[in-house]
């Protein structure tokens, strides 16, 4: 095949594009499924209507987000084969069974109970309905477990050998699944999903509090979200730091790129900002704090930190991207923690429900979790280059025998379709969020029709009489 490198670059862009769109939905639905389970549990325990109102309010949004997660996820399960067939053939014996377990233990569980969760309240009774919600929430976590195990193995492969045709073969499943970076990545991602959801919920609550500070449901969701911010954001920063040390141990080149270090040095500075230049092999315009880099990474003022020049040019990840995506992620994490702590202070003084400026900050921060999740994934995935299986299988040796035009056309189609379809979906979600939660939120009580997927008595946008029901 001709023009292979171009085809590979296009295939990489296509994968990055489709997976970036996809991760937005699970990052939200992992957190939202758990939130819904908590709300329903609180409702069952206390019997307070406000919890049911919130459950119904967020259930409609969950249905939309989940649907988009499903269809964008089906694309992912076939992308491996269409564009990365050599990778698939070689890693299939190791990674395939893990993905098989994801489908069997997670996807079926979510899909099997989603119907009951969305439409079954008056068909199965409260207890069974809660069980269905719980199964959906557990399904999202199982899914995270398996897919992060797969991804982590690509970063820190373990427990494998090779057969005579060059395939990776499994030697020790325990080592494969619990590969060295997996526990750190799993905790970091699940916390990220929870934080992302918390800030969406907090942003929506803040929006409605700005309009009406007495809205009970808005108060409850804002308060719950700020508790999450205050507790989970600091935990996430600690988890991220530990994950970073694990990366330093297994992928020092990635850390060098994140830090913008080109020279190997003792007592390396912490570069706060700068512009890593891969060609000139230096970080330009650097603003740095002497020796702090070594202190953070090695816990010694004069510890030695490897720079990118320790690796051949073709083995270096792109520091320009990784340096900045890392800073975006960390910056948002710190801002989340500060908002969480500020809310604690407001709560202590009894001002949580009289803080319009804070509400505006929370609204601005509403989508920040998605940005942080994407920035984090860009950091870790671009930082893994030029390998698909770190240190073993190069990206350039992983692709299908592709022609650039075929990939280019399908990329263009995916781009067009995703912007139209998921753009519309996000618009519908925002429109649902802009409606204030009602006392006796429509949907699950008797007499009002509960309709198709997510259409729990949805109001058409021009409030015409319902066509059915």
Partner 1 sequence: MIFDLAFIWAGLIAVAILAYVILDGFDLGIGILFPLLKGVRHRDQAMNTVAPVWDGNETWLVLGGGGLFAVFPMAYAIILPALYAPIMAMLIGLIFRGVAFEFRWRTSRWKTAWDLSFFLGSLTAAVSQGIILGALIQGIEVESRAYAGGWWDWLTPFSVMCGVALVAGYALLGATWLIMKTDHALNSRAYYLAWYLMAAMAVVMAVVSIWTPFLDAKFMARWFSSPSVYYVSIVPLITFGLFVGLALSLNAKRDNLPFILTLGLFLASYIGLGISLYPHMIPPSITIWQAAAPDESLRFLLVGTAVLLPIIIAYTTYSYWVFRGKTKSGEGYH
Residues 373-432 that bind partner 1 (CB under 8 A): 400-403, 406, 410, 413-414, 417, 421, 424-425, 428, 431-432
Q: Tell me which residues in 152-181 interact with partner 1 (CB under 8 A).
A: 163, 165, 167, 169-171, 173
Note whether 182 binds partner 1 by CB under 8 A. Answer: no
Per-residue binding string, partner 1, 127-156, x by CB under 8 A, is --------x---------------------
Any residues with CB less than 8 A from the CB of 103 and at least 6 apart, and which?
none
Q: Which is nearer to partner 1, 4 or 338 (CB)?
A: 4
Q: Give phi and psi for 307, each to the nearest 5.
A: -105, 170
Q: 394: which strand partners?
A: 387
CB 186 → partner 1: shortest distance, Å? 19
Any residues with CB less than 8 A from the CB of 148 and at least 6 apart, and which?
182, 185, 186, 189
Can you tell me which of 3, 46, 77, 301 binds partner 1, judged by CB under 8 A? 77
Q: Which is nearer to partner 1, 5 or 100 (CB)?
A: 100
Note whether 458 binds partner 1 by CB under 8 A. Answer: yes
Note whether 2 binds partner 1 by CB under 8 A. Answer: no
User: How far is the C-alpha of 129 from the C-alpha of 113, rounded, in Å?
Assistant: 9
Note whether 115 binds partner 1 by CB under 8 A. Answer: yes
CB 50 → partner 1: shortest distance, Å? 23
Q: Which is nearer to partner 1, 101 or 353 (CB)?
A: 101
User: How far is the C-alpha of 211 from the C-alpha of 206, rounded, in Å?
Assistant: 9
Say if CB 241 and CB 297 are below 8 A apart.
no
Closest CA to 376 of 269, 260, 226, 244: 244
Q: Are strands 168-170 and 265-266 parallel, antiparallel or unpaired?
A: unpaired
Q: Tell me which residues in 228-287 interact with partner 1 (CB under 8 A).
A: none
Greatest alpha-carbon pair distance for the chain in Å reads 73
Q: Which is nearer to partner 1, 63 or 319 (CB)?
A: 63
| Residue 378 token pair | 């860009």
Any residues with CB less than 8 A from the CB of 295 and at least 6 apart, and which?
270, 301, 303
Q: Which is nearer to partner 1, 75 or 321 (CB)?
A: 75
User: How far is the C-alpha of 154 from the C-alpha of 172, rounded, in Å?
Assistant: 16
Note whether 63 binds partner 1 by CB under 8 A. Answer: yes
User: How far is the C-alpha of 374 from the C-alpha of 447, rounded, in Å?
Assistant: 43
Can you tell me which of 27, 54, 118, 134 binds partner 1, judged by CB under 8 A? 118
Q: How many binding residues for partner 1 (CB under 8 A)?
A: 88
Q: Tell me which residues in 314-343 interact with partner 1 (CB under 8 A).
A: none
Note whether 68 binds partner 1 by CB under 8 A. Answer: yes
């Amino acid at each position: 095949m001709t023009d292979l490198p171009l085809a590979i670059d296009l295939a990489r862009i296509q994968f990055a594009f489709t997976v970036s769109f996809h991760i937005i939905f699970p990052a939200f639905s992992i957190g939202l499924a758990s939130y819904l389970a908590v709300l329903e549990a609180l409702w069952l325990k206390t019997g307070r209507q406000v919890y049911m109102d919130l459950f119904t309010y967020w259930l409609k949004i969950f249905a939309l987000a989940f649907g988009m997660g499903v269809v964008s996820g089906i694309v992912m399960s076939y992308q491996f084969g269409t564009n990365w067939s050599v990778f698939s053939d070689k890693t299939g014996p190791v990674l395939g069974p893990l993905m098989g377990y994801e489908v069997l233990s997670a996807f079926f569980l979510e899909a099997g109970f989603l119907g009951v969760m969305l439409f079954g309240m008056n068909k199965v009774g409260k207890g069974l309905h809660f069980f269905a919600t719980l199964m959906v929430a557990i399904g999202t976590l199982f899914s995270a477990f398996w897919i992060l195990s797969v991804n982590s193995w690509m970063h820190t492969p373990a427990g494998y050998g090779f057969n005579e045709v060059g395939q990776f073969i499994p030697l020790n499943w325990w080592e494969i699944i619990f590969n060295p970076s997996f526990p750190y990545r799993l905790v970091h991602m699940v916390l990220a999903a929870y934080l992302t959801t918390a800030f969406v919920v907090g942003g929506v609550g803040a929006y409605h509090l700005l309009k009406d500070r007495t809205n009970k449901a808005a108060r409850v969701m804002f308060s719950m979200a700020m508790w999450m911010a205050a507790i989970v954001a600091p935990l996430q920063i600690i988890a991220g730091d530990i994950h970073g040390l694990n990366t330093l141990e297994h992928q020092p080149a990635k850390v060098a790129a994140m830090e913008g270090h080109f020279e190997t040095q003792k007592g390396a500075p912490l570069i706060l900002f700068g512009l890593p230049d891969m060609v000139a092999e230096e970080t330009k315009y650097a603003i740095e704090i002497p020796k702090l880099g070594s202190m953070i990474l090695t816990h010694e003022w004069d510890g030695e930190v490897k720079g990118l020049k320790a690796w051949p040019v073709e083995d270096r990840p792109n520091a320009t991207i990784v340096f900045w995506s890392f800073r975006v992620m960390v910056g948002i994490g710190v801002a989340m923690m500060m908002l969480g702590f500020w809310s604690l202070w407001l709560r202590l003084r009894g001002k949580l429900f009289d803080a319009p400026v804070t509400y505006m900050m929370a609204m601005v921060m509403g989508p920040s979790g998605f940005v942080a999740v994407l920035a984090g994934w860009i950091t870790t995935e671009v930082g893994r280059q030029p390998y698909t299986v770190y240190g073993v299988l190069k990206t350039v040796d992983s692709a299908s025998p592709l022609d650039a035009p075929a990939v280019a056309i399908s990329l263009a189609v995916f781009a067009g379709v995703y912007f139209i379809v998921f753009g519309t979906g996000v618009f519908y979600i925002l429109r649902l969020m802009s409606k204030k939660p009602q006392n006796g939120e429509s949907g699950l009580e008797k007499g009002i029709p509960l309709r198709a997927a997510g259409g729990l008595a949805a109001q058409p946008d021009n409030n015409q009489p319902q066509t059915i029901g």
